């Protein structure tokens, strides 16, 4: 059974978001026809929200809530999935200049997986860093579709994926309730826990999915039929 | 934007839309706003001065965008008892005059006990890029 998860979102636990988790889940419930999400991952900035317990909200809205982090490195921002005590002991997530290669390798060694996010974004994305520094090794995947991207950013990410053969995920990067789930990732497998998510991210059996109402349409070989 | 006779707390629902409202800000209006605010920088008044700063032309002040989104909310409230208590915005891209802009909003959260409402608001350009995004809070009195 496939699972669709928004892998990148920020709740009010992040310093630049005012979105309560319950409001996100309620919005998903209301918009399920347009954005058929099974779950979201909260990727709070520079922290891991260890104490948060969303089980009651998950039950209320029938939406899975997993937790991860968005950290800042010398190659831009990166999502860390499978955060555990060992990872938190080794890396100070509040450090805004974490060494990217050490984070990628260290997190993998300790059971997690790191995914560079919004790689096409100026300053905080991988593409710009690759212009002046050697490419990183052992990159599992990058965020190809980011719901907060400006014009051209996802296209730069696509060129990066093509050039380096990276796998691709999608996430909304939502900081506002109504933007949750605009981009997400469809996994071939059933994913219900963070361990299963990490396992599947390493497997490569997934693809980014785009639920934006004005998303770029793939070029068509034939003219559209009237009424379509 | 048409005025309404007044929104009441019990009639507000999560998912309710504010707008969309299309608007074009002409250059004289943007200049007048900047002048009234004491914003003398050439980028708000003159295309050439803006280009000298690397901008494509004169731009609309951020506070003008904030004002447009505030008005989106207060027009939605109309003459009713609710009041806008907070609005916060993030400026993600420059907003240019003489372009078609669209103001959007959604009611995203209601606190029944506190009788408050949270609203997402944003300004899009013609390519559906969100140039300014934000959230607003609205409070209603204990009974309305």
Query: Do residue A177 and residue B120 have CB atoms under 8 angstroms apart?
Result: yes
Structure tokens at B141: 């009195």
What is the pLDDT of chain B when averaged over all its residues?
A: 94
pLDDT at A216: 62
User: Does A75 have pLDDT greater than 80?
Assistant: yes
pLDDT at A215: 66
pLDDT at A226: 33
Q: If contacts are CB pairs under 8 Å, which of residues 40-69 in chain A contact chain B?
A: none
Query: Do residue A177 and residue B109 have CB atoms under 8 angstroms apart?
Result: yes
Mean pLDDT value of segment A171-179 = 97
A200: which residues sit within 8 A by CB, 6+ positions away? A187, A188, A189, A191, A206
> What pLDDT band is residue A174 in, cutting at 50, 70 and 90?
very high
| DSSP per-residue codes, B25-92 | --HHHHHHHHHHTT---GGGT-HHHHHHTT-SS----HHHHHHHHHHHHHHHHTTSS-EEEEEEEEE-
User: Does B64 have pLDDT greater than 70?
Assistant: yes
Residue A26 near residue A61, CB atoms below 8 Å: yes
B114: which residues sit within 8 A by CB, 6+ positions away? B139
pLDDT at A225: 35
User: Does A219 have pLDDT greater than 50?
Assistant: no
For residue B92, the chain A residue with the least C-alpha distance is A150
For residue B13, the chain A residue with the least C-alpha distance is A30
Looking at per-residue pLDDT, the higher value among A226 and A9 belongs to A9
| Chain A residues touching B118 at Cβ < 8 A | 18, 23, 177
Percent of chain B surpassing pLDDT 90: 92
What is the pLDDT of chain A when averaged over all its residues?
A: 93
pLDDT at A49: 86
SS3 B11: helix
Q: What residue segments make up the domains of chain B, in order of their start? A: 1-25+60-144, 26-59
Class of CATH domain B1-25+60-144: alpha beta
Mean pLDDT value of segment B15-40 = 96
> What pLDDT band is residue A61 in, cutting at 50, 70 and 90?
very high
pLDDT in tens, A96-152: 999 999 999 999 999 999 999 999 999 999 999 999 999 999 999 999 999 999 889
pLDDT at A38: 98
Query: Do residue A18 and residue B127 have CB atoms under 8 angstroms apart?
Result: no
Backbone angles phi, psi at A183, to 5 degrees: -130, 150
User: Does A10 have pLDDT greater than 80?
Assistant: yes
| Chain A residues touching B15 at Cβ < 8 A | 27, 30-31
Mean pLDDT value of segment B81-108 = 96
Mean pLDDT value of segment A165-194 = 97
pLDDT in tens, A79-102: 999 999 999 999 999 999 999 999
> What pLDDT band is residue B2 in, cutting at 50, 70 and 90?
low
Which of A10, A18, A23, A153 to mutate: most B Cβ within 10 Å? A18
User: Does B66 have pLDDT greater than 50?
Assistant: yes
Q: How far is B109 from chain A (nearest CA, A)?
A: 6
SS3 A30: helix
pLDDT at A151: 87
B13 — contact with chain A (CB < 8 Å)? no
Percent of chain A surpassing pLDDT 70: 94
Side-by-side strand order, sheet with A183-187? A113-116, A76-81, A64-73, A39-45, A3-9, A183-187, A206-210
CATH superfamily of domain region A3-210: Metal-dependent hydrolases (3.20.20.140)
User: Does A222 have pLDDT greater than 70?
Assistant: no
Structure tokens at A56: 């009651």
A20 — contact with chain B (CB < 8 Å)? yes
pLDDT at B133: 96
Mean pLDDT value of segment A56-79 = 98
Query: Do residue B14 and residue A27 have CB atoms under 8 angstroms apart?
Result: yes
pLDDT at A1: 81
Largest CA distance in chain B: 55
A-to-B residue pairs, Cβ atoms closer than 8 angstroms: 42
pLDDT at A51: 87
pLDDT at A217: 53
User: Does A171 have pLDDT greater than 90?
Assistant: yes
Query: Do residue A26 and residue B109 have CB atoms under 8 angstroms apart?
Result: yes
Query: Do residue B14 and residue A30 have CB atoms under 8 angstroms apart?
Result: yes
| Chain A residues touching B122 at Cβ < 8 A | 176
pLDDT at B5: 74
């Amino acid at each position: 059974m496939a699972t669709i998860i928004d892998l990148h979102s920020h709740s009010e636990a992040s310093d630049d978001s005012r979105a309560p988790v319950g409001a996100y889940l309620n919005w998903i419930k209301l918009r399920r026809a347009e954005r058929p999400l099974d779950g979201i991952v909260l990727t709070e900035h520079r922290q891991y929200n260890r104490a948060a317990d969303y089980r009651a909200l998950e039950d209320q809205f029938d939406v899975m809530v997993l937790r991860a982090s968005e950290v800042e490195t010398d190659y831009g921002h990166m999502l860390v999935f499978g955060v555990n005590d060992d990872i938190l002991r080794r890396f100070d997530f509040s450090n805004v200049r974490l060494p990217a290669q050490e984070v990628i390798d260290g997190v993998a060694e300790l059971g997690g997986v790191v995914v560079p996010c919004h790689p096409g974004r100026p300053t905080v994305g991988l593409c710009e860093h690759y212009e002046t520094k050697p490419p990183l090794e052992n990159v599992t995947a990058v965020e190809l579709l980011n719901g907060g991207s400006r014009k051209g950013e996802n296209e730069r990410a696509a060129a990066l994926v093509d050039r380096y053969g990276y796998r691709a995920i999608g996430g909304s990067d939502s900081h506002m309730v109504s933007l949750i789930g605009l981009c997400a990732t469809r996994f071939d497998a059933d994913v219900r826990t963070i361990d299963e998510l990490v396992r599947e991210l390493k497997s490569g059996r997934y693809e980014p999915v785009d639920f934006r109402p004005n998303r770029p349409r793939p070029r068509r070989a034939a003219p559209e039929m009237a009424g379509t | 934007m048409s005025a309404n006779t007044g929104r009441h707390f019990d009639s507000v629902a999560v998912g309710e839309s504010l707008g969309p409202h299309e608007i074009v800000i002409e250059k004289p209006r943007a200049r007048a706003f900047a002048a009234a605010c004491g914003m003398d920088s050439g980028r708000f008044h003159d295309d050439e001065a803006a280009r000298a700063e690397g901008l494509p032309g004169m731009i609309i002040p951020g506070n003008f965008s904030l004002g447009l989104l505030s008005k989106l909310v207060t027009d939605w409230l109309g003459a009713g008892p609710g009041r806008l208590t907070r609005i916060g915005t993030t400026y993600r891209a420059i907003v240019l005059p003489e372009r078609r802009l669209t103001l959007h909003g959604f009611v995203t959260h209601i606190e029944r006990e506190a009788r408050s409402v949270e609203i997402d608001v944003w300004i899009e350009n013609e390519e559906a890029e969100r140039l300014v995004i934000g959230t607003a809070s609205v409070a209603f009195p204990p009974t309305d």
